[in-house]
Structure 1
Amino acid sequence: MAGTLQFDLVSPERRLASFAATEVQVPGTDGDMTAMEGHAPTITTLRPGILRAQGPSGVQAYAVTGGFAEINATSISVLAEKAVAVEELTGTVLDEFIAEARELVSVALPEDKDMAERTLNDMLALRASAGH
């Protein structure tokens, strides 16, 4: 299929997705980005948010808590700290993500406090965007 790139999403627990996608929207730490065929080589960190991939069976959406994405002209590989298909995302799962983020804020060193608080705020925004 012309105009596609190989999309792979893995977490430490499992491979969540592997298919040809026409575009992948990534919640990057420095801002959201969309990867498409022919994209310039890029490595970016992820913030908590919703990753969306347009594939042969429509848009597949996944909640990610962070990680990395490596993008090139023909593929995007996402290595997520934690990832859950949006249809499997429950209030309980989100509560666990938020509790972990709150714990990180409480133990963060002063120089890491801003990043930990930003992660917590992103987790709370993820909950709101997921409708839970």
Structure 2
Amino acid sequence: MTDTLHFEIVSPERLLKDEDVAMVVVPGAEGQFTALPSHAPMMSTLKPGVVEIYVSESSEPERLFIKGGLAQINPKGLTILAEETLALDDIDTADLATKIANTREDIEDAKDDVERGLLEKELKWMLALSEVAAA
């Protein structure tokens, strides 16, 4: 049994992380889960939320917000394919509140169900980010 888990997080733009870590807490669509060394193979869709990366068991986690994506754990480690990632330090809460209000108005004015569905998806990740920023 190894002491570390190989972890990669990839966004459409680039490879964001590629390192060995102690564990990673992931916002799975069915609930949070923790990926540890020698974890059983699995796949999960991801909901908007925070990925917590622990380099060692006693370290403070590095935290990244993801808009959603897919996680795969296999014998080689954990790979997250993220739709998009945001640095929590860069969040402007006033700007985010304005975007949430504007998106809610846009949902009410949507011309069809397709447009409404896309806007509701955007609103979902913005609300999740707002909760994280408020904590």
TM-score w.r.t. the length of structure 1 is 0.75
**Which of 53-62 and 91-100 deviates more?**
91-100
- Aligned partner of residue 39 in structure 1, secondary structure: coil
1:76 alignment counterpart: 78
Structure 1 position 32, deviation (Å): 0.8
Corresponding position: 1:130 with 2:122: no
Q: Any conservation in 1 of the 2:93–2:133 contact (CA below 8 Å)?
A: no
TM-score w.r.t. the length of structure 2 is 0.73
- The unaligned stretches of length 5 or more in structure 2 are none
- Aligned partner of residue 37 in structure 1, secondary structure: coil
Structure 1 position 52, deviation (Å): 0.5
Aligned length, in residue pairs: 129
Greater C-alpha radius of gyration: 2
Task: Return closer, same or farther for 1:84/1:73 CA change in 2, 3 Å cut-off.
Answer: same
**Which of 38-47 and 72-81 deviates more?**
72-81
Percent of paired sites with the same residue: 34
Root-mean-square deviation (CA, aligned residues, Å) is 3.4
- The unaligned stretches of length 5 or more in structure 1 are none
Structure 1 position 17, deviation (Å): 1.6
CA distances 1:76-113 after superposition (whole Å, capped 9, x unpaired): 1111001023223333784698589766894544xx95
**Which of 54-63 and 6-15 deviates more?**
54-63
1:33 alignment counterpart: 33
Residues 1-132 of structure 1 aligned to structure 2 (within 5 Å): 2-56=2-56, 58-91=60-93, 94=96, 98=100, 106=110, 108-109=113-114, 117=120, 120-131=123-134
Determine the C-alpha separation between the residues in 2 that align with 1:10 and 1:99. 30
- Aligned partner of residue 34 in structure 1, secondary structure: strand
